[in-house]
Amino acid sequence: MRKQDLWLCVWLLLIVGGLRAEASPELAVLDQARTLEGDVRVQSLIEVWNEGELVRSSLYEVYVGSDRRSLALAKSGREAGQKVLMLDDQFWLFLPMSQRPIRITPMQKMLGDASVGDISSLRWQEDYRIMDRQTNGLTQWLTLEAVGAGLSYQRIELHIRTDGFAPLNARFYLTSGKLAKTATFELSEDDGDLMVTSMTLTDEVVGDEVTRIHYQSVTPMQIPERWFSPAFLARNPLN
């Protein structure tokens, strides 16, 4: 290999490395509290509320793998049979009666205020890097910046406890800098293990409805590699 080619390879590796999110204990706590580590199945119940009344609900099974890959299956409600596949920054929607996947964006609504990205992107440590920390007594505000252009939100302000980094609430911003949503986290602790039991989303643009994502169970499992293949999912319902 020529010296010039070697330096070009090193330069490219440095660029790619710089685009990856750095490991941070604060985001590790949030990810661990929602999805644990490794391949898991997360059973999520999404509820849409309007003026204190339940409007709609749907049950999802989300299979979270490595390298920013996930598969969400709608198990009930009007969305039953739908599948959403996330491969890094690419998203596909599979409808029950069609074998042709539809390319979609992470901001496309799934149910209420919950978007494709809200349901599929469950590990922030892979998607964001911490740009600023502001401590105020018992809590901290973290400013998170997206490491890629294909994420739902380019900036997140995350409010956490200073001791233990438990997440409290968050503000989500679009690329334009406009505040899109706010979220609050409900927590539980079992034998010292912190768990996020639900996340409540409020659309700051419309604001008529409140959407709650309940993380009912997290189960470690070995996800078949073919489940992350668009061609396989187009032919197999997995219901």
24: pLDDT strictly greater than 90: no
Residue type, 127: D
Mean pLDDT in residue range 37-59: 93
Contact 62, 215 (CB under 8 A): no
- What confidence score (pLDDT) does residue 150 get? 76
- Which of 21-30, 87-96, 144-153 tops mean pLDDT? 87-96
3 CB neighbour count, 10 Å cutoff: 7
177-236 pLDDT tens trace: 999 999 999 999 877 789 999 999 998 887 778 999 999 999 999 999 999 999 999 998
Contact 123, 39 (CB under 8 A): no
Q: Give the predicted TM-score (pTM) of the model.
A: 0.85
Task: Please state, rounded to an integer, the average pLDDT across all residues of the chain.
Answer: 87
Closest Cα partner for 210 from 35, 41, 46? Answer: 46
Integer-rounded Cα Rg, in Å, for the chain is 19
Closest Cα partner for 210 from 218, 202, 219? Answer: 202
90-112 pLDDT tens trace: 999 999 888 889 999 988 888 88
Domains recognised in the chain with CATH numbers: 24-235 (2.50.20.10)
